[in-house]
Amino acid sequence: MSVLWILLLPMLGMILPLLSAKKSRTTIAWLTALPPALALAILLQQIPSVFAGAVPAFEAQWVPLLGLSISLHLDGLAFLFCLLILGIGLLIILYARYYLSAQDNMAVFYTYLLFFMTAMLGVVLSSNLLQLWLFWELTSISSFLLISFWSHKTEARKGARMALSVTGAGGLALLGALLLIAHVCGSYDLHTVLKQGDLLRSSEWYPAIITLFLLGAFTKSAQFPFQFWLPHAMAAPTPVSAYLHSATMVKAGVFLLARFYPALSGTDAWFVAVSLTGMTTMLVGAYTALFKHDLKGLLAYSTVSHLGLITLLLGLGSNLAAVAAVFHIINHAVFKASLFMAAGIIDHESGTRDMRKLNGMWKYMPFTATLAMVAAASMAGVPLLNGFLSKEMLFAETLHQETLGALSWWIPLLSTAGGALAVAYSLRFMHDVFFNGEPVDLPRIPHEPPRYMRVPVEVLVVLCLLVGIFPQFMVGDLLATSSQAVIGTELPSYSLAVWHGFNIPLLMSTIAILGGVILYINRRHLFYFQGQFIEHDAKLIFEGAVQWLVRRAEIVNDWIDNGSLQRYMFLLLLLALAVSAGPLFELKDTVGTHAQLPINWVVGFCAALLVAGTFITIWWIHRRLVALVALSVVGLITSIAFAYFSAPDLALTQLSVEVVTILLFLLALFFLPQKSPVIDSSFTVIVRDFGIAALFGSVIGTICYALMTRPLDTISGYFLEHSKPGGGGTNVVNVILVDFRGFDTLGEITVLGIAALGIYKLLVGMRVFMPSTDGNGRRWSSDSHPLLLALVSQSLLPLALLVSAFIFIRGHNMPGGGFIAGLITAIALIQQYVAHGVVWMKERLPINCLHLIGLGLLIAFLSGLGSWLFGHNYLTTWFDHYHWPLVGEFELASAMIFDFGVYLTVIGAILLILTDLGKLTTSERQSEGER
């Protein structure tokens, strides 16, 4: 439980600064420091048990299916890191209180800081792989927020984005690695995994695992070639750099290496990949650091190089090296944090970080200078300081390497070189800044910082000394337990002491120090040499790369999607053709066993007519009126076909829909261009289009033929059987529409209604260009409402209404029904509009089409609902037969109410569409802006 609190306290603490945002800066700082302090207390409380080898843990289910659970454990390694994160974190909080200026939003800063702290604690405490990854990603996110804290600065934004991109990519790789590990080991539990090292190493996935895993670790701890993001993260406020790049963020990578050391290390692949990367990083980092004029830049690269050193140690694969690595993790955290803070103080008090301006700080801030120099000495590995001890262990380790065979002596040699470089840049840090003449036009006169701003540095520097002088006493147990956790097996024998007598490591240290001094003294030549190369700004390169990627993507995207409907349609049809043609090649015999009807000349003639009409339509498509006439012929034949093949309802519907459609077309044609270019696209395109069209047509035709000539057993028998007894109607089609599948019909009229709404929206505020002549330049007739038409239509109206009523009533038993009746009524009314004009009609027929639609839908809807009263399902119908005198036997069915709803909706929709369209030509058009 206590383990949980270590994580929980900082997490909950995140709100404190926000709540106290209005309070004084000191109060905020104190409130912020409270939760981590408590957490630290709890942690220290655990010391006895942890050092005794116990592992306090917490376990809770979260997503079992995924294997993700909330499981924390506090083993040696976790303990060590928690100590660093919380301890140094607290110092940073204190430091930041004085570093941040009044303009900076301190509350937000502290919130981010605690967020980051929580994420780091989560990483080190996790004993579930996925949970570990979760917190790992959180560190990337929170560090992004911290680095971009001064978001008004370009370099802050770019640096933060770069850090996020690189570490984010690493995070994805790591996720892959962890999933694979869990796949091999069959568990997401860390302890289970760590026990199955041999299984992992021998599995076929091992290469993939180790690649992805190392990608994740190396990007995080800025190993070569991913080191470039780290220096640019220095755009962050110094407290952030001091925290992220000493104890936490970048250490997460090496933590990961240490964490999975038992499971993954011990193969040649591991040795080569890890130790060589570490070696390279160490040298490159140290070398680059030497040439940095920016104080923080120098420290950043030295961080890179030290991380390389730790990686190298973990790569060497011997347990003693692992111990050394852990030891150096501690030491580096301590001295590097203090150095960053010192640099921050200098920057804060003198206003610059440029070492070409900063000189002779000694006389302005002697106290800070001393602290900084002690820390720097430790960084250089000077005896009696902690840095020296771990570096010696490294040297000692490099001596027993055989993996490179005869060339194994390279390793100690290169390590010494790295040591020398470290000494050199440390010297530069000390000498250049604090001595070396007078400062050059500083923004302001530097002086010692406020008392409490220096406290954190003092604490850490004292630690450097104490550890350096009494290592065993100071960190003996800590090192033992944490290394124990890393290695897994029993500890190798080692002694923490300043003096091991005269031996090769000591010699190497001496060489390193002397070499460093010599290097620094002759730095002019080095700088001159380095000056020949133009320096590349990783930021620019990275941004450039992203830009390049984006541009390429744009080009490709525009190439694929050229905004032409023709292409989209072509691809759609091409795919449809491809998929539907495929199976037909397999189809053995097209003609099935079903008996075919004999053909007669009437049918033949109609078919010929249809084909002719179709061809006229496409041939004269550019003469749009002609095309329309031909189109209507085709429609007519279609309805005849329906009538002939015993589908009277279909025939009637098709016919009446045909009329309305053509009416619409004519009206629309009046507003659309009357002609289109005879040839609108190149010959090849036309051939291509016609080709695919013909292919698809033939496919459909073939399928149709194959279907019709095959026997089929269907569910339709049921409908014929139950239409009369169950649905109360003899016209099975109509019964299906209003009863068996009444739900479809409800949906269908809904579609009609919505279409009317959409069209209404389209027409509002539409500006149309009304031609005064038709396509061939003939003027439109000046008489818009001819008298003859008016008379005829008026006399026709009652008849039409009567017919529609008749069709409606008989619908249930004979061909007909609400839809057809509605169409007929609508057409009759439209005719009146045509004959007399909108204004005339409006006076005589004051109905609102919208309301009509709504009413129709409502009636249909409610007719279905009625059945609920009788405890039946929606749309359950009811019917009965009555006998009235005179009228005689007749039937009432709830389905008829439904049908009436259909009737109204159809009238409303069609009137709305056609009259609104017609209104466009008159004063009745709706005003704009209400769409």
Alpha helices in 522-647 (DSSP H): 523-531, 538-560, 565-586, 601-619, 624-644
In the complex, the smallest distance separating the C-beta of residue 788 from another protein, rounded to whole angstroms, is 18
Q: How far apart are CA 3 and CA 125, in angstroms?
A: 8
598 binds another protein (CB under 8 A): yes
In the complex, the smallest distance separating the C-beta of residue 165 from another protein, rounded to whole angstroms, is 6
Distances (CA, A) of 791 to 93, 785, 802, 829, 840: 94, 11, 18, 14, 14
User: Of 250-258, 304-312, 479-487, 699-707, which part binds another protein (CB under 8 A)?
Assistant: 699-707
269 binds another protein (CB under 8 A): no
In the complex, the smallest distance separating the C-beta of residue 761 from another protein, rounded to whole angstroms, is 6
In the complex, the smallest distance separating the C-beta of residue 73 from another protein, rounded to whole angstroms, is 20
In the complex, the smallest distance separating the C-beta of residue 541 from another protein, rounded to whole angstroms, is 15
User: Of 248-256, 376-384, 505-513, 653-661, which part binds another protein (CB under 8 A)?
Assistant: 653-661
Binding to another protein (CB under 8 A) within 892-931 occurs at: 909, 913, 917, 921-923, 928-931
In the complex, the smallest distance separating the C-beta of residue 358 from another protein, rounded to whole angstroms, is 30
Tell me which of 360, 383, 488, 592 binds another protein, using CB under 8 A: 592
Q: And the tokens for 615?
A: 């061809």
Strands 68-73 and 879-884: unpaired
Nearer to another protein, 126 or 483 (CB): 126
User: Of 164-172, 258-266, 420-428, 442-450, which part binds another protein (CB under 8 A)?
Assistant: 164-172
In the complex, the smallest distance separating the C-beta of residue 17 from another protein, rounded to whole angstroms, is 15
Q: How far apart are CA 610 and CA 907, in angstroms?
A: 30
Contact 153, 90 (CB under 8 A): no
657 binds another protein (CB under 8 A): yes
Binding to another protein (CB under 8 A) within 43-72 occurs at: 61-68
Binding to another protein (CB under 8 A) within 780-799 occurs at: 784
Q: How far apart are CA 111 and CA 101, in angstroms?
A: 16
Q: How far apart are CA 275 and CA 313, in angstroms?
A: 7
Binding to another protein (CB under 8 A) within 117-146 occurs at: 130, 134-135, 137-138, 140-141, 144
Q: How far apart are CA 855 and CA 212, in angstroms?
A: 65
- 493 burial via Cβ count (<10 Å: 0-12, 13-18, 19+): exposed
Tell me which of 362, 494, 696, 806 binds another protein, using CB under 8 A: 696
Applying CB under 8 A, the site for another protein has a residue count of: 225
Nearer to another protein, 521 or 587 (CB): 587
User: Of 412-420, 453-461, 866-874, 882-890, which part binds another protein (CB under 8 A)?
Assistant: 866-874
Binding to another protein (CB under 8 A) within 809-838 occurs at: 813-815, 819
In the complex, the smallest distance separating the C-beta of residue 181 from another protein, rounded to whole angstroms, is 11
In the chain the first and final C-alpha atoms are separated, in Å, by: 61
Binding to another protein (CB under 8 A) within 11-40 occurs at: none
Nearer to another protein, 165 or 370 (CB): 165
In the complex, the smallest distance separating the C-beta of residue 347 from another protein, rounded to whole angstroms, is 23
User: Of 177-185, 249-257, 300-308, 337-345, which part binds another protein (CB under 8 A)?
Assistant: 177-185
**CB under 8 A, 24+ apart: contacts of 379-382:** 379/302, 379/306, 379/335, 379/336, 379/339, 379/422, 379/426, 379/429, 380/422, 380/423, 380/426, 380/427, 380/513, 380/516, 381/419, 381/422, 381/423, 381/509, 381/512, 381/513, 382/513
Binding to another protein (CB under 8 A) within 668-687 occurs at: 668-669, 671-673, 675-677, 680-681
Tell me which of 186, 207, 351, 583 binds another protein, using CB under 8 A: 583
In the complex, the smallest distance separating the C-beta of residue 632 from another protein, rounded to whole angstroms, is 10
Q: How far apart are CA 599 and CA 604, in angstroms?
A: 7
Binding to another protein (CB under 8 A) within 741-770 occurs at: 741-755, 757-770
Nearer to another protein, 600 or 795 (CB): 600
Q: How far apart are CA 408 and CA 385, in angstroms?
A: 29
In the complex, the smallest distance separating the C-beta of residue 586 from another protein, rounded to whole angstroms, is 5
User: Of 195-203, 287-295, 343-351, 575-583, which part binds another protein (CB under 8 A)?
Assistant: 575-583
DSSP state of 225: T
Q: And the tokens for 710?
A: 């095959």
771 binds another protein (CB under 8 A): yes
Nearer to another protein, 489 or 781 (CB): 781
Is 202 strand, coil or helix? Answer: helix
- Angle formed by the axes of helices 206-220 and 249-259, nearest 10°: 150
DSSP letter for each residue of 780-794? PPS-SS-HHHHHHHH
Contact 651, 642 (CB under 8 A): yes
Residues sharing a CB contact under 8 Å with residue 858, sequence separation 6 or more, in sequence order: 901
In the complex, the smallest distance separating the C-beta of residue 252 from another protein, rounded to whole angstroms, is 15
Contact 354, 293 (CB under 8 A): yes
Selection from 136, 300, 135, 318 nearest residue 233 by Cα: 300
Contact 314, 262 (CB under 8 A): no
User: Of 314-322, 413-421, 511-519, 576-584, which part binds another protein (CB under 8 A)?
Assistant: 576-584
In the complex, the smallest distance separating the C-beta of residue 497 from another protein, rounded to whole angstroms, is 45
400 binds another protein (CB under 8 A): no
Contact 325, 254 (CB under 8 A): yes
Burial 741-769 (b: 16+ CB within 10 A, else e): ebeebbeebeebbeebeebbeebeeeeee
Phi and psi at residue 508, in whole multiples of 5°?
-60, -45
Binding to another protein (CB under 8 A) within 531-550 occurs at: 546, 549-550
In the complex, the smallest distance separating the C-beta of residue 598 from another protein, rounded to whole angstroms, is 7
Selection from 887, 874, 884, 894 nearest residue 812 by Cα: 894
877 binds another protein (CB under 8 A): yes
Residue 872 burial (CB count, 10 A):
12
In the complex, the smallest distance separating the C-beta of residue 821 from another protein, rounded to whole angstroms, is 13
Nearer to another protein, 260 or 740 (CB): 740
User: Of 26-34, 373-381, 396-404, 652-660, which part binds another protein (CB under 8 A)?
Assistant: 652-660
Q: And the tokens for 599?
A: 């053909």
Tell me which of 515, 614, 801, 803 binds another protein, using CB under 8 A: 614
In the complex, the smallest distance separating the C-beta of residue 690 from another protein, rounded to whole angstroms, is 5
Nearer to another protein, 522 or 596 (CB): 596
Q: What does the CA dihedral 405, 411, 412, 418 come to, rounded to 10 degrees?
A: 170
Binding to another protein (CB under 8 A) within 457-486 occurs at: none
Binding to another protein (CB under 8 A) within 616-645 occurs at: 617-618, 621, 624, 627-628, 631, 634-635, 638, 641-642, 644-645
Selection from 460, 448, 425 nearest residue 355 by Cα: 425
86 binds another protein (CB under 8 A): no
In the complex, the smallest distance separating the C-beta of residue 599 from another protein, rounded to whole angstroms, is 5
